[in-house]
Each structure stands twice: as structure tokens, then as C-alpha cells.
Chains A and B, each alone.
Chain A
Amino acid sequence: MATFLARRLLWFIPVLFVVALITFVLMKAAPGGPWDRDAESKQVDPRTMELLARKYGLDKPAWRQFIGYLVGDFDDEGQFVCGAVCGNLGPSYRQRGKTVQQILFEPPPEKGFFDSKFGHTARLAVLALVIALAVGIPAGVFSALKQNSWLDYALTFITNIGIAVPSFVVAFFSILIFAVGLKWMPVVQKSWAGLTPFIIPAIVFGFGTMAQTARLMRSTMLDVMRQDYVRTARAKGLGEQAVIWKHMLRNALIPIITTLGPAVAGLLTGSIVIENIFGVPGVGRDFIQSIGNRDYSMIMGTTLFYVILILLGNLSVDLLYGVVDPRIRVD
């Protein structure tokens, strides 16, 4: 177990290094710097540019900037400033005086952590996952228990649609239905306090995961229902409810956990687009804005942050899998 964990954590290092390298090389290949988007239309005079470049260490050779970003470098006074390994994602080029980690995690004054950029993203993703599982699992179970009934056909049809149509498209449909048609919400939400404004975006966002969960749940339930141990449970006179809850459901839930890893990863990165469509003030919307502003340190920092989240998500699901199913040993 310990060796498994250590090996998986060590594997993070090359992955993050390669991602950082790719991001860094791409940013260097982009024409224009963070202060002038077009090489042709200089917006900042050369003298200021030189000072800015020195301030952010952009006058140093590229390899040193890269190492400095990842590990750390000495500043003008000879003081060592730790880099990304210490969680320091560097100063934002556009939002002066703020570091990338401050922009991502620091809530506005007198607000809690869940009002920070990441707090909004987390609220959306967690709510989406909870709704997806809370609806998807029972839907799959009912489909399987009432196999070939009209309920099963209806649920399977919705499931197929949910798997086929990406959340990007579902989001536009939902805005047309709930904002333009029914007027349950404004097209652009003004307040994101509490959970209520997140409900419709979260349903849209979790729709694909919901459909996949329902489909998998249905097929594993159908499989489990025909197992010998279920027949044994019935043969010894156990009530139908106990058979369903204790024998079928517990075993059928195991495969769902394997799909959680990709689902969480999809929810985290999918939020880039969903946040943008619904105007959720989270990490994803900020990412798109920093792309428009060519705020390179922000782009790089957010990318690394996303990849760490996904790596941790996949790892925790692997660990969880070993806990839930004793037949699988992680070592």
C-alpha cells in the first residue's frame, strides 16, 4: 500500500514537469509578450517594458526562467524566492500586485473560502457530481429492476441522449428553456451566493455523468441479478428488499467507483466551458479571461493546478477502489 502510494506520487513529478515544459515552450512561442498582445501594436513604451521584464525576471535566459518558475530563483536582493514546488505560482502579469495563487484561492474581503474563484468551481463541480450520482444510480437500479418496461425504455432513451449530447450543447438548451422560455433564471446570474444559483448549471454539467452512471448501473445490476449469491439469498428466504439492498446494490456499486475518476476529471476541466456559458465566477472563467489577456503566468499556473487536481482525483479513486472491493489489492 505504502509503496503503491509512493510510486504513484513519484509519477506526479515527471507528469507535472512535462506539462509545465509544454506550457512554457508554447508561451515562449507565442508572438508578443504579456504587455503587448500584438507584436505590431506596441502598447507599452520600450523603457517601461524593460523595467517590467526585469521585475518579472523575463530578461533572464529561458531555461533559467523555467527553473525559476518551478523550483525558485534569487531575486534582485539575492534573496531566494521559492517557485511552484512551494505552491508559489508566481505573480500575475495582468492583475498587478497579485500572485496567481491569490487570484485562485483568496476570497473577497470578509467572505469565506467558498466565495473564492476555486470555491465557486468546487461548489459547481461537487454539486454536479452529487446530483449526477443521486439521480443516476437510482435511475439505473429502477431500469434494471423493471427491465423492458416503459420506464426502462424511457430512462434508457434519456440516458442515450445524455451520453451523446455534450454538456456544452446541453447548456445552451437549458438556457433557452429555463432563462428564455420559462424565465426561472436570468441569462446572466448576478449573485452566486449559496447553492440555489448553481442548481441548473450543476444539473446541466452533471447530465453526462448522470447518464453514464445510469447506463453502467443498469448493466451491472442486470448482471448481478443473475448471480448465484442472489439466488442463494432468495433461497434462504430473505425478503426482496434485503436482497436488493444488501446483496445486489452493494456489489453493483463497485464498477461505478472506477468511472468516478474520469468523471471527476471531466467535471473539473469541463467547468472551463460551463462556467463561461453560465457566467460562474470560477477558475474556468478566469482561465478563459486570462487567455484573452495573454496573462501567461496565470495560464501556466491554472494549467498546473488543473493537472494536479486530476492526478489527485485519479489517485484517490484508485485507493477508494481497493477499500470498497477487498478482492482488489493495490500494491
Chain B
Amino acid sequence: MAQATPSLSRSATAAAPAIASQSQRQLAWRRLRRNRAALIGGIVVTIYLLTALFASSLAPHNPIKDYGASKAFLPPFWQPESPAGKTYDPTFPLGTDQQGRDVLSRILYGTRTSIVAGVLPVTIVVLIGTTLGFVSGYLGGGADNLLMRITDIFYAVPTELLLILVMVTLGDTALGKAANGVPLFLIALSAVSWSGLARLMRGSALSLKNLAFVEAAQSLGASDFHIISRHILPNSVGVLVVWIAFAIPRFIIAEAILGYIGLGLRPSLNPNDFFITSWGRLFLDAYSIIGSQPGFLLAVTAVVSLLVISFTFLGDGLRDALDPRMKK
């Protein structure tokens, strides 16, 4: 018997390469790579991330320097002459705004701010939402009841409306004025968005906690923390990743809407600040000069749409890849 075992295992290893086992992650990655739309979406998102990171090196001009009235309202490259009668200047590829600021540089810097405005709150919401969702779903009881009632209330109140309310009432406080309003924006967006994810993660924990492997862990004496972090969390990652892919563009648009209304991040006049302008601010500025410089609004709208579409294609692809049962 003792001699039979090694020979058995040897024959098993010999047969293994023919089957070529694949982990769940490898399978998901293969499914994602085969999805062309998702792949292109992923590449575009990566380009935007790199642009955000290197905005200061890529921008041809200082985004807040105005080149004066003679350089104001220059048309973008696809328009030889602007409605204001100015001709195209190749040093300003996307033209200039009413103060003679370079549109391309402003968009590049805005990309940086808006990407941060999408990614940072997602991080906070994921931390709060998964913790509360797992704890209430796995432990149940009074805390679970309370969470469900809170999410019920949030379900009836549109997040956009709440977000506007928080930004308008707290915008002039010390908190709202600190660091171009970024901290307030993060807090407000996280406060109104956590409940949806908490509900989602609660559902995931609820469906997982009755499965055999969780029961096995419980009977071996594993702590609640161990079960949540080692069993519930890894098995919910798929749902979480898809949620993130759809949440980031939603948050970027939330910033753009707030900025357009005039409640978003405060534009900075200091060139050394990290947040100089954002897409929301650019929408507001571009729309106000649509008559004399429509190319500005077109450029901003196109840049924002491309990123949002790419995120959606990537999110759809991730959903199909991570959960093949969900495939449409």
C-alpha cells in the first residue's frame, strides 16, 4: 500500500498536462480577452488613466494662463475659422476659451481631477458598503434590520437630489472650502452612495452563508471575521468588480453635473494645486460661450462620452466574464 501511493501520484502528474487545468481567474481573463468591446473599453480607460497621471507633462500650455484677448476664441483644428472671426492657430490644437486659455490643456488637467473624483469615492464606498453589507448579511439580527430600513429610505430619495442638497448647504462651510472642495465632495458622494452597494453585498453574503463550504468552516471553529474575509469576500469579488466598473463613470458624471450647476469642485488659481479644473467646470464654461466657441463644448462632451462608454463596455465585459450565468 505504501509503495502503491507514489506510483499512483506519478501517473496522476503525468496525465495532468493533457487536461491543462485552469483557475476561475484564468477562465474569466480568457473570456474577457475574447470580448472585443470590453478589450477596447479597457484600453481606452487605461489611456485616460495615463493621461490623468501625466497631465502636467502632456499639456502644451499652462491651463490657467490667459493669453489675452488677441488669442481668445481661437477655433479648434477642424474649424478653419471660429464664429468670432478668429483663424486656427496650430499651437492651440483645440482652440482657446473666452480668456485665451488653451482648451486642450484645460481638458487634460480636468481629466486628472475627474478621474480622481470618480476613483476616490468608489474606494471609500467600497470600504463602507462591503463592511456593512457583509456584517449585516452574515450576522443578521437587529443590525441587519436597521440597515435594510436605512437602504429602503435611501431607495426613495434620489442620490442626485441629496448630493445637491449636501453640496449647497455645506459648500460655504470651512469643510466645503478646504482643498478646492474635494473633501466635501468625497464625503457627500460616499454618504449618498454607500447604501446601494451595502444592499448588494448583503444579498451576496446571505446567499453564500448557507453554502456547504461556509458551514464546513463554521464547524471547524473559524471566527466570523475569518469566514467573512476568507470566504464571503473572495466569493463576492466578481459582483464587486462589476459594481465598481459602473460606479466610477457614474461618480465622474455626478461631479460633472455638480460642476455644471456651479456646486462642484472650486477652480483653483494656483498652478501648483493638484485640482486646477474639472470636467464639470469645463461644461459650465464651455456652455456659456457656445455661441462664439462651439468647438469647446464639443471637445469636452466627446472626451467625457468616450470615457463613459468605455467604462460601460468594460463593465459589461467584466460581468459576462466573471459570471457566465448572467450572460445576456
Assembled-state Cα–Cα distance A30/B177 (Å):
13
The answer to whether A173 and B301 have CB atoms under 8 Å apart is: yes
In the assembled complex, how far is the CB of residue A93 from the closest CB belonging to chain B, in whole angstroms? 14
- Asked if B104 is at the interface (CB within 8 A of a chain A CB), the reply is no
User: Please, how many angstroms separate the alpha-carbon atoms of A186 and B311 in the complex?
Assistant: 33
Please, how many angstroms separate the alpha-carbon atoms of A160 and B170 in the complex?
37
| Assembled-state Cα–Cα distance A22/B170 (Å) | 13
Interface residues of A toward B: which range?
A: 35 or more
Query: Quick one: which of A261-315 are within 8 Å of B by CB?
Result: 265-266, 269-270, 272-273, 276-277, 287-288, 291-292, 294, 299, 303, 306-307, 310-311, 314
Residues of chain A from 216 to 266 with CB closer than 8 A to chain B in the complex: 219, 265-266
From B161, B165, B172, B261, A276 is in contact (CB under 8 Å) with B261
Name the CB-closest residue of B to A37: B172
Number of A-B contacts (CB under 8 A): 117
Contacts known (A176-B301, A307-B156); A29 close to B173, Cβ less than 8 A: yes
Q: Is the CB of B308 within 8 A of A166?
A: yes
Q: A26-B166, A29-B173, A187-B290 are in contact. Are A307 and B157 (CB under 8 A)?
A: yes
B291 close to A (CB within 8 Å) = yes
Q: Which of A14, A165, A277, A303 contacts B308 (CB 8 A)?
A: A165
**Chain B residues with Cβ under 8 A from A31's Cβ?**
172-173
The answer to whether A169 and B164 have CB atoms under 8 Å apart is no
Question: In the complex, what residues of A have CB within 8 A of residue B249's CB?
Answer: 164
Which listed residue, A32, A172, A272, touches B283 by the CB 8 Å rule? A172
Q: Does B50 contact A (CB under 8 A)?
A: no
Select from chain B the residue with minimum beta-carbon distance to A177. Answer: B298
Identify which of residues 26-72 in chain A touch chain B, using a CB-to-CB cut-off of 8 Å: 26-27, 29-32, 37-38
Q: Taking the nearest CB of chain B, how far is it from the CB of A179, in angstroms?
A: 8
Contacting residues of chain B (270-315) with chain A, CB-CB under 8 angstroms: 283, 287, 290-291, 294, 297-298, 300-301, 304-305, 308-309, 311-313
Report which residue of B169, B263, B312, B313 has the largest number of chain A beta carbons within 10 angstroms of its beta carbon.
B169
Binary interface profile of A, 191-212, with partner B (CB < 8 Å = 1, else 0)? 0000000000000000000000
Given A306-B161, A310-B158, are A173 and B153 also a contact pair (CB < 8 Å)? no
A19 at the interface (CB under 8 A from B): yes
Chain B residue nearest to A296 (CB atoms) is B169
B305 touches A303 (CB 8 A): no
B325 within 8 Å of A (CB atoms): no
User: CB-CB < 8 A to A314: which residues of B?
Assistant: 156
A172:B301 contact, CB within 8 angstroms = yes
- Tell whether A320 is near chain B: CB-to-CB under 8 Å: no
Query: Residues of B contacting A22 with CB < 8 Å?
Result: 162, 165
Are B172 and A38 within 8 A (Cβ)? yes
Does A161 have its Cβ within 8 Å of any Cβ on chain B?
Answer: yes
Q: For the complex, give the distance between the alpha carbons of A23 and B308 in Å.
A: 31
Known contacts A31-B172, A173-B305, A164 near B312 by CB under 8 Å: yes
Flag whether A15 is at the interface (Cβ < 8 A): yes
- Which of chain A's residues 160-184 have a Cβ closer than 8 Å to chain B? 160-161, 163-166, 168-169, 172-173, 175-176, 180
On whether the beta carbons of B298 and A176 are closer than 8 Å, the reply is yes
Q: Is the CB of A29 within 8 A of B253?
A: no
Are the C-beta atoms of B308 and A292 separated by less than 8 Å?
no
A168 adjacent to B168 (CB under 8 Å)? no
Chain B residues with CB under 8 A of A187: 290-291
| Interchain CA distance A58-B171 in the complex, whole Å | 22
| A172 neighbours in B (Cβ, 8 Å) | 283, 287, 297, 300-301
* B261 close to A161 (CB less than 8 A): no
Q: Is B260 an interface residue (CB 8 A)?
A: yes
Task: Tell me the minimal C-beta distance from B114 to chain A in angstroms.
Answer: 13
Q: State whether the Cβ of B116 lies closer than 8 Å to any Cβ in chain A.
A: no
A288 CA to B284 CA, complexed, in Å: 14
Contact call A27/B172, Cβ cutoff below 8 A: no
A272 touches B161 (CB 8 A): yes
CA distance A287 to B164 in the complex (A): 10
What is the bound-complex CA distance between A32 and B304, given in angstroms? 36
Q: A30-B172, A176-B294, A307-B156 are in contact. Are A273 and B308 (CB under 8 A)?
A: no
B248 part of interface (Cβ distance < 8 Å): no
Interface residues of B in 234-288 (CB under 8 A from A): 249, 253, 256-257, 260-263, 283, 287
Closest to B159 in A: A269
Q: Do A270 and B160 contact each other (CB < 8 Å), given the known contacts A169-B301, A180-B290, A292-B262?
A: yes
Q: List 7 A-B contacts (CB under 8 A).
A: A22-B162, A26-B165, A29-B170, A172-B297, A180-B290, A269-B161, A310-B157
Residues of B within 8 A of A (CB): 149, 152-153, 156-158, 160-162, 164-166, 168-170, 172-173, 249, 253, 256-257, 260-263, 283, 287, 290-291, 294, 297-298, 300-301, 304-305, 308-309, 311-313, 316, 328
Q: Other than the known A30-B170, A169-B256, what 4 A-B pairs have Cβ atoms closer than 8 Å? A: A22-B162, A26-B170, A30-B173, A176-B301
Give the 7 A-B CB pairs with smallest separation, nearest first. A164-B312, A269-B158, A30-B169, A26-B169, A164-B309, A172-B301, A291-B168
